[in-house]
DNA sequence: TTGAAAGCGCTAACAA
DNA sequence: TTGTTAGCGCTTTCAA
């Protein structure tokens, strides 16, 4: 394994001191130098195929030019686009990303955060935050640059980039109402995640606004955002509130699980029960019956969070808003129809 | 931002030399030390919440405990499970991964490889290799630990972990034959990727084995493994070889595109044309008509490649086989049916 | 405009 | 069994 060229090698080859080489190679610091020596040094560097040792740079400057990206689970299809969005901003800025999967486990989250800090990351984008997670708060307070994405911490001064949860829920809620639904159940997400809680609260608020009695708008909370939980909770809804004509799910995977549950019960979506989702994850359009859902802008979310993190790392934290809410839009497909003309509503 | 505790701090606190602290904290090297001083030092370290500075460790030892994972595109759903498989092995071994997306562009691939090397990664798992990519070969020859995954380099001594492409193609081919298909077209992948080439060759070999005239088994090659290319190539097949009763696609996304093309032409899968895929990507089971495909073991692939890389990095390269071929299996769903009883075949 | 020297935090000869 | 010393490759004062 041929040893890498170092500054010292170039210094020797071009007959100047290492510190001069260091300066000559950095456009910022080469200003005071003679054009002649700058050229000579750069020529030698190119000739010898010099690439700076970033580890040494990091030790000296205390900057690794690396960020940590915490996600719940990369196999969950909504996260890859977010990661690409982050990369699109960070890579040109010279940063690499270490991606870790927390599986939404508090223990793993804490341990992985520590690992990232041990590795000296310059900042963290956290898309897996639990609403109250002391370790991340402590890290932020001790000076680590952090922004949360998709989710927010409770009562926090850690900047966050989230989607318009309230607006999104209101969009599907109003759609269902316009179709004539009176008995809408909410298949809620875990309330220890801000997404779960915000959507749930938005649902309740929408009910209140439109004068729907909470008794006619049951809420069942999933413990995870996945198909199995969607199925389980949908069954619970069907059992406890058989007069339900629509299920407003807190995300697409829960909605997909709900549709499976309906099918298992011999019911059809949308004929018997309408279902809506949230996220508009990839390939959703290809899955029957075509879920009506809320589209979020995953790429944009990643880019925005990355830009904010860059600003914070450059000590321009004052320029980044505590709260950034990204617009969402309604995607109508085929999972919503008028309530069937039987049961209590007729 | 409170300064991190260093060895020096602990040395001062516990009244011994830094090198003693360094030894005491490493179970390997603490053997010669008094139990007494080891305890004292470790207590102080815990007390002061010491976490080793891995950058300094890296500079000194020339090991970053970081690997690079090169991927074509993380938003392509077959890669996240691979990444998790890699992580499952590397994380317990103390390694972090820097994931980069090459978008299958030669220029990006070369540049990103350089970036990873600049960052001093200890090894690379390359799932995005083009068949002949000089930069990765050069890197491997110069001593960097590399294994390729999913794809192999041409004429290489870089260890690779791939799926049983030949066996998989043979499985779907035989299935189609058993259903009575005589006119099978191959929707091939890009031939600059080993997957594309191996599957194509396997298809040709299968034709030869079963006495099918290549003229009755047209091959159309996609430039990318995506739905758009699948659609485009399927249209070409339908136009040039209208007597085709089955399309054997080189992967699921091409197959999905082919099914769209059929639909656009007013044809139905499987009634008019049978279609098969490869990979069995996530959520495929939920997309109608239910693609018959080859299941590959993405998690396992990632784990195996990671274990091989670990061995190579530990200079036990002799123990890792140049070639590892993972078993695949047939997943029958609803996209294959007997050829319709019209046209040239009756 | 360039050189000298120090030092980031750690490990590893070598001494004692 | 522990301490001393050097040095990984780089940047950054401080001098000249």
Say which of A84, A114, A119 has its CB closest to residue B75.
Answer: A84
Q: Quick one: chain A helix, strand, coil %, rounded to 5?
A: 45, 15, 40
Phi, psi torsion values for B47, nearest 5 degrees: -55, -45
Beta-bridge partners for B101: B71
Pairing of strands A123-126, A246-249: unpaired
Measured CA distances, B211 to A79, B204, B260, B345 (Å): 47, 10, 31, 16
Structure tokens at A259: 């549709």
Q: What is the pLDDT of residues A91-149, one digit of tens each?
A: 999 999 999 999 988 999 999 999 999 999 999 999 989 998 889 999 999 999 999 99
Q: What is the pLDDT of residues A292-318, one digit of tens each?
A: 999 999 999 999 999 999 999 999 999
Residue nearest to nucleotide C1 (CA to C1'): A33
Beta-bridge partners for A221: A188
B37 CB neighbours strand D below 7 A: yes
Residues 6+ apart with CB under 8 A from A63: A57, A122
**Which of the 109-128 residues on chain A come under 7 Å of nucleic strand D at their beta carbon?**
none
How open is the CA angle B235-B197-B240, to the nearest 5 degrees? 25
What's the DSSP call for residue B231?
H
| Total number of residues shown for chain B | 346
The answer to whether B39 and B71 have CB atoms below 8 angstroms apart is no
Q: Provide, in whole angstroms, the distance separating residue B59's CA from nucleotide C2's C1'.
A: 28
- Exposure string of A289-317, with b = 16+ CB inside 10 Å and e = fewer, is bbbbbbbbbbbbbbbbbbbbbbbbbeeee
Nucleotides, chain D, CB distance < 7 Å: 1-5, 7-13
User: What are the start-end ranges of the H helices in B222-251?
Assistant: 227-240
**Contact: B55, A64; criterion CB under 8 Å:** yes
One-character DSSP codes across B59-121? HHHS--SEEEEEES-TTSTTHHHHHHHHHHHHTTTT-EEEEEE-TT-HHHHHHHHHHHHHTT-
**Contact: A288, B288; criterion CB under 8 Å:** yes
**Contact: A74, B75; criterion CB under 8 Å:** no
Which nucleotide has the shortest C1'-to-CA distance from A11? C3
Q: What is the dihedral of CA B116, B304, A108, B283, to 10 degrees?
A: 100
For residue A1, the model assigns a pLDDT of: 61
Say which of B1, B98, B120 has its CB closest to residue A97.
Answer: B98
Structure tokens at A212: 């729907």
Nearest-neighbour CA in chain A from B143: distance (Å): 5
Q: Provide, in whole angstroms, the distance separating residue A113's CA from nucleotide D13's C1'.
A: 35
Q: Provide, in whole angstroms, the distance separating residue B328's CA from nucleotide C2's C1'.
A: 65
Say which of B1, B73, B256 has its CB closest to residue A142.
Answer: B1
Between CA B336 and CA A32 the distance in angstroms is: 73
Structure tokens at A145: 């640059």
Q: How many CB pairs under 8 A join A and B?
A: 104
Pairing of strands A329-331, A293-295: antiparallel
Nearest-neighbour CA in chain A from B1: distance (Å): 5
How open is the CA angle A143-A144-A147, to the nearest 5 degrees? 120
Indicate if the pLDDT at residue A172 is higher than 70.
yes
For residue A280, the model assigns a pLDDT of: 97
B20 CB neighbours strand D below 7 A: yes
Which nucleotide has the shortest C1'-to-CA distance from B30? D1
Q: What is the pLDDT of residues A17-31, one digit of tens each?
A: 999 999 999 998 888
Nucleotides, chain C, CB distance < 7 Å: 1-5, 7-13
Between CA A38 and CA A30 the distance in angstroms is: 7
One-character DSSP codes across A56-100? HHHHHHS---EEEEEES-TTSTTHHHHHHHHHHHHTTTT-EEEEE
pLDDT band at B30 (very low <50, low <70, confident <90, very high): confident
Q: Is the dihedral of CA A35, A38, A44, A50 positive or negative?
A: negative
- Taking residues A47-56, report their average pLDDT: 96
**Contact: A83, B74; criterion CB under 8 Å:** yes
Nearest-neighbour CA in chain B from A256: distance (Å): 10
Indicate if the pLDDT at residue A89 is higher than 80.
yes
Q: What is the dihedral of CA B266, B269, B270, B272, to 10 degrees?
A: 20
Indicate if the pLDDT at residue B346 is higher than 70.
no
Indicate if the pLDDT at residue B344 is higher than 50.
no
**Contact: A119, B96; criterion CB under 8 Å:** yes
**Contact: B143, A1; criterion CB under 8 Å:** yes
Domains identified in chain B and CATH numbers:
7-52 (1.10.260), 61-163+297-327 (3.40.50.2300), 165-296 (3.40.50.2300)
Contacting residues of B for A118, CB less than 8 Å apart: 51-54
Distance from chain centroid for Cα B33: 46
Q: What is the pLDDT of residues B41-88, one digit of tens each?
A: 999 999 999 999 999 999 999 999 999 999 999 999 999 999 999 999
Mean pLDDT for all residues in chain A:
94
Structure tokens at A152: 């927010």
The residue in chain B having the minimum alpha-carbon distance to the alpha carbon of residue A83 is B74
pLDDT band at A206 (very low <50, low <70, confident <90, very high): very high
- Taking residues B178-193, report their average pLDDT: 96
Say which of A52, A115, A282 has its CB closest to residue B118.
Answer: A52
Q: Provide, in whole angstroms, the distance separating residue A6's CA from nucleotide C1's C1'.
A: 23
For residue B342, the model assigns a pLDDT of: 55
Indicate if the pLDDT at residue B345 is higher than 50.
no
Cis peptide before B339 (omega within 30 of 0): no
- Taking residues A234-262, report their average pLDDT: 97
Q: A4, A64, A74, A257: which to substitute to probe chain B, counting the most B Cβ within 10 Å?
A: A74
As to burial, measured by CB atoms within 10 angstroms (0-12 exposed, 13-18 middle, 19+ buried), residue B248 is: buried
For residue A343, the model assigns a pLDDT of: 44
Contacting residues of B for A120, CB less than 8 Å apart: 53-55
Which nucleotide has the shortest C1'-to-CA distance from B53? C9
Structure tokens at B246: 């089955």
For residue A8, the model assigns a pLDDT of: 94
Say which of A98, A118, A283 has its CB closest to residue B51.
Answer: A118
Q: Which residues of B touch A (CB under 8 A)?
A: 1-2, 51-56, 58-59, 64, 66, 73-75, 77, 80-81, 83-84, 87, 96-101, 114-115, 117-120, 142-144, 256, 282-283, 286-288
The answer to whether A195 and A148 have CB atoms below 8 angstroms apart is no
The answer to whether B75 and A81 have CB atoms below 8 angstroms apart is yes
Measured CA distances, B60 to A19, A250, B57, B276 (Å): 21, 50, 5, 53
Which nucleotide has the shortest C1'-to-CA distance from B20? D2
Q: What is the pLDDT of residues B78-135, one digit of tens each?
A: 999 999 999 999 999 999 999 999 998 899 999 999 999 999 999 999 998 999 889 9
The answer to whether A183 and A215 have CB atoms below 8 angstroms apart is no
Q: What is the pLDDT of residues B250-303, one digit of tens each?
A: 999 999 999 999 999 999 999 999 999 999 999 999 999 999 999 999 999 999
Between CA B346 and CA A239 the distance in angstroms is: 54
Which nucleotide has the shortest C1'-to-CA distance from A9? D9
């Amino acid at each position: 394994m041929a040893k890498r060229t170092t500054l010292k090698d170039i210094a020797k080859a071009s007959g100047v001191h290492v510190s001069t080489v260091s300066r000559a190679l950095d456009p910022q610091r080469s200003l005071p130098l003679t054009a002649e020596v700058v050229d000579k040094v750069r020529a030698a560097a190119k000739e010898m195929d010099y690439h700076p040792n970033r580890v040494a740079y990091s030790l000296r400057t205390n900057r690794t030019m690396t960020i940590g990206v915490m996600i719940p689970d990369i196999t969950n299809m909504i996260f890859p686009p977010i990661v690409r969005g982050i990369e699109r901003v960070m890579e040109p800025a010279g940063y690499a990303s270490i991606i870790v999967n927390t599986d939404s486990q508090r223990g793993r989250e804490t341990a992985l955060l520590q690992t990232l800090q041990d590795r000296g990351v310059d900042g963290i984008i956290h898309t897996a935050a639990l609403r109250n997670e002391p370790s991340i708060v402590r890290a932020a307070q001790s000076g680590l640059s952090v922004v949360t994405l998709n989710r927010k911490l409770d009562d926090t001064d850690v900047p966050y980039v989230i989607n318009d949860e309230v607006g999104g829920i209101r969009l599907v809620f109003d759609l269902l109402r316009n179709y004539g639904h009176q008995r809408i159940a909410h298949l809620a997400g875990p309330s220890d995640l801000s997404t779960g809680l915000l959507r749930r609260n938005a649902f309740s608020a929408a009910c209140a606004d439109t004068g729907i009695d909470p008794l006619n708008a049951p809420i069942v909370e999933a413990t995870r955002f996945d198909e199995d939980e969607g199925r389980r909770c949908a069954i619970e809804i069907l059992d406890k509130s058989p007069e339900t004509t629509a299920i407003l799910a807190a995300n697409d995977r829960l909605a997909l699980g709900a549709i499976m549950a309906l099918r298992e019960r011999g019911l059809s979506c949308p004929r018997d029960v309408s279902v809506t989702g949230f996220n508009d994850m990839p390939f959703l359009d290809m899955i029957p019956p075509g879920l009506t859902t809320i589209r979020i802008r995953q790429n944009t979310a990643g880019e925005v969070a990355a830009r904010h993190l860059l600003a914070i790392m450059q000590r321009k934290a004052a320029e980044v808003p505590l709260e950034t809410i990204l617009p969402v839009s309604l995607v109508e497909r085929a999972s919503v129809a008028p309530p069937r003309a039987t049961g209590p509503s007729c």
